[in-house]
C-alpha cells in the first residue's frame, strides 16, 4: 500500500514540473498576451499559445501516441490534411479579380519569393540541413498554412518554431514593409497613380481556378494538395451555385481546422524542441526572408516599368509577400501618404494573391526535389 501511495505521489504533476516546462509556459503566456491584448494574429496565436501551455504539463499524455493532441497533430498536420483544408477556406475568401484584370502582377508575386531562397541559403550557412533550410526559407512566403505544410513534410521538429515565426511576422508586416519599400522607392514613384482596373466578367472568374489548376499542377505536381483546394474553394464562391459549400469553407470549416491546427502546433513545442539556439536563428532568418521578399517584389516592379506601357506603382510589388490582405493595406497607406489621391489597395491585391500561389509553388518544388 505504501508503494502504491509513493507511486501515486511520484506521479503528481507538480513534483515533475521542469524548468523547461515553466520556460515554455512563459512563451505560451507571451503569445497569449500578444494575441489577446495586442491583437497579433489571435485566431492562430490563442490556440497555439494554449496548446504550448497544455502540452507542457507533465504526465498528461496529451502528446503520447493516442493522446488527444497527438491525434490532432498526427492526423491533422503530419498527414497533411489541415493545411489544404485551410487553403480551401482561403480560396473561398479570395477575390482573384485584381490579378485577372492585371495579369502581369503575377510576376510580382513570383519576385517576392526571393526572400524564400535568400533565407534558404542563410540557413544553410548557419548549419541547418537542406530540409530544415527549406522549411525556414518558406517563412519568407508569409503564408502560414504553406509553411506548416512544408515543415511538417521536411522538418517536423521545427514545426512549432517556423509556424510561430511565420504568423508573428505576418502580423508585423506593417512594421517590416514600410522601411524597405521607402528605401527602394522615391516619393515620386510612391505617389504614382495607376490606371483604373477593368471590370472582370463572371465567366473569367469561373474559368480562372480551372486554368490556374491546369497550369500550376501540370508544371509542379507536388503543389497539388494546396493548389487544388485553393482553386476549389474559389470555384465554390465564383460559380455562385454552391453558396452553402462556399459559406462552410470560408466560415465553419476553416474555423474548426484552425483550432485543431493551432493546438496541434502548440503541442509540438516542448522545451527540448524550442529552447535552443536554433529557435533564435529561425526567428532572425524569418525576418530576413520577409525583408528580401518585400525587396524582390518592389525591385521587379521597378524593372518591369522599364518595359511596359501602363506603369505600375513599385509599392504594389511589396504586397507580393502574401499576408493577405494586410500587406495590400500597408501598400495602400504608403501610397496615400505620398499622394492623397492614390488608391492602391485593389492594385496591390493582385501581387498579394499571386504571392500565395507563388509560395505554394515554391513549397511544391522543395517537396519534389528534397523529399
Residues near another protein, by CB under 8 A: 99-101, 103-104, 106-107, 109-110, 113-114, 116-117, 120-121, 124, 129-130, 133-134, 198, 200-201, 203-204, 207-208, 211-212, 215-216, 219-220, 354, 357-358, 361-362, 365-366, 369-370
| CB-based burial label for 68 (10 Å; 0-12, 13-18, 19+) | middle
C-alpha cell at 236: 465554390
| Cβ contacts of 273-279, under 8 Å, gap ≥ 24 | 273/157, 273/160, 273/161, 274/24, 274/27, 274/160, 274/161, 275/20, 275/23, 275/24, 278/128, 278/158, 278/161, 279/161
Least Cα distance to 173 among 290, 32, 317 occurs for 290
Question: Smaller CB distance to another protein: residue 71 or 200?
Answer: 200
What is the smallest separation between the CB atom of 252 and another protein, expressed in angstroms? 31
What is the smallest separation between the CB atom of 187 and another protein, expressed in angstroms? 29
What is the smallest separation between the CB atom of 358 and another protein, expressed in angstroms? 5
Q: Count of residues for the chain?
A: 371
Question: Smaller CB distance to another protein: residue 323 or 367?
Answer: 367
What is the smallest separation between the CB atom of 368 and another protein, expressed in angstroms? 9
What is the smallest separation between the CB atom of 357 and another protein, expressed in angstroms? 7
Question: Smaller CB distance to another protein: residue 104 or 182?
Answer: 104
> Read out DSSP for 60-111?
--TTSTTSHHHHIIIIIIITT-HHHHHHHHHHHH---HHHHHSTTHHHHHHH
CA distance 76 to 180: 37
What is the smallest separation between the CB atom of 218 and another protein, expressed in angstroms? 9
C-alpha cell at 305: 516599368
CB atoms under 10 Å from CB of 120, counted, come to: 23
How far apart are the two ends of the chain, measured CA to CA in Å? 53
What is the smallest separation between the CB atom of 180 and another protein, expressed in angstroms? 20
Question: Smaller CB distance to another protein: residue 73 or 149?
Answer: 149
Strand (E) positions, 132-181?
none
Question: Smaller CB distance to another protein: residue 119 or 166?
Answer: 119
Which residues, at least 6 apart from 38, have a Cβ–Cβ distance to it below 8 Å? none
Question: Smaller CB distance to another protein: residue 139 or 164?
Answer: 139
What is the smallest separation between the CB atom of 134 and another protein, expressed in angstroms? 7
Question: Smaller CB distance to another protein: residue 38 or 371?
Answer: 371
Question: Smaller CB distance to another protein: residue 104 or 157?
Answer: 104
Question: Smaller CB distance to another protein: residue 176 or 354?
Answer: 354
Least Cα distance to 195 among 30, 284, 305, 286 occurs for 305
| Cβ contacts of 62-65, under 8 Å, gap ≥ 24 | 62/267, 63/267, 63/268, 63/270
What is the smallest separation between the CB atom of 220 and another protein, expressed in angstroms? 6
Question: Smaller CB distance to another protein: residue 12 or 214?
Answer: 214
What is the smallest separation between the CB atom of 367 and another protein, expressed in angstroms? 11
User: Is 109 within 8 Å of 351 (Cβ atoms)?
Assistant: yes
User: Is 32 within 8 Å of 164 (Cβ atoms)?
Assistant: no
> Read out DSSP for 219-243?
H-GGGHHHHHHHHHHHHHHHHSS-H
Amino acid at each position: 500500500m505504501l508503494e502504491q501511495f509513493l507511486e501515486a505521489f511520484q506521479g503528481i504533476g507538480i513534483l515533475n514540473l521542469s524548468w523547461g516546462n515553466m520556460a515554455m509556459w512563459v512563451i505560451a503566456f507571451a503569445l497569449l498576451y500578444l494575441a489577446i491584448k495586442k491583437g497579433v494574429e489571435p485566431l492562430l496565436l490563442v490556440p497555439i499559445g494554449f496548446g504550448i501551455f497544455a502540452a507542457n504539463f507533465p504526465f498528461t499524455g496529451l502528446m503520447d501516441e493516442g493522446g488527444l493532441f497527438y491525434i490532432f497533430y498526427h492526423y491533422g498536420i503530419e498527414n497533411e490534411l489541415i493545411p489544404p483544408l485551410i487553403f480551401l477556406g482561403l480560396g473561398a475568401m479570395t477575390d482573384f479579380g485584381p490579378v485577372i484584370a492585371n495579369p502581369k502582377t503575377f510576376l510580382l508575386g513570383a519576385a517576392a519569393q526571393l526572400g524564400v531562397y535568400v533565407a534558404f541559403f542563410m540557413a544553410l550557412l548557419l548549419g541547418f540541413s537542406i530540409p530544415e533550410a527549406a522549411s525556414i526559407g518558406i517563412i519568407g512566403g508569409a503564408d502560414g498554412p504553406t509553411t506548416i505544410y512544408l515543415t511538417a513534410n521536411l522538418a517536423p521538429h521545427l514545426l512549432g518554431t517556423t509556424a510561430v515565426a511565420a504568423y508573428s511576422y505576418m502580423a508585423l508586416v506593417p512594421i517590416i514593409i514600410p522601411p524597405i519599400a521607402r528605401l527602394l522607392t522615391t516619393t515620386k514613384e510612391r505617389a504614382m497613380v495607376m490606371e483604373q482596373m477593368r471590370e472582370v466578367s463572371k465567366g473569367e472568374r469561373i474559368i480562372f481556378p480551372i486554368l490556374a489548376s491546369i497550369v500550376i499542377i501540370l508544371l509542379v505536381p507536388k503543389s497539388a494538395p494546396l493548389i487544388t483546394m485553393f482553386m476549389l474553394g474559389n470555384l465554390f464562391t465564383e460559380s455562385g451555385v454552391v453558396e452553402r459549400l462556399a459559406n462552410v469553407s470560408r466560415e465553419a470549416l476553416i474555423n474548426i481546422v484552425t483550432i485543431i491546427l493551432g493546438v496541434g502546433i502548440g503541442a509540438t513545442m516542448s522545451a527540448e524542441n524550442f529552447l535552443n539556439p536554433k529557435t533564435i536563428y529561425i526567428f532572425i532568418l524569418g525576418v530576413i526572408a520577409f525583408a528580401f521578399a518585400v525587396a524582390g517584389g518592389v525591385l521587379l516592379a521597378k524593372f518591369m516599368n522599364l518595359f511596359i506601357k501602363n506603369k505600375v506603382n513599385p509599392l504594389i510589388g511589396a504586397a507580393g509577400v502574401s499576408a493577405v490582405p494586410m500587406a495590400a493595406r500597408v501598400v495602400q497607406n504608403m501610397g496615400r501618404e505620398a499622394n492623397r489621391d492614390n488608391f492602391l489597395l485593389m492594385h496591390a491585391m493582385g501581387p498579394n494573391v499571386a504571392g500565395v500561389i507563388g509560395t505554394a509553388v515554391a513549397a511544391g518544388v522543395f517537396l519534389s526535389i528534397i523529399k
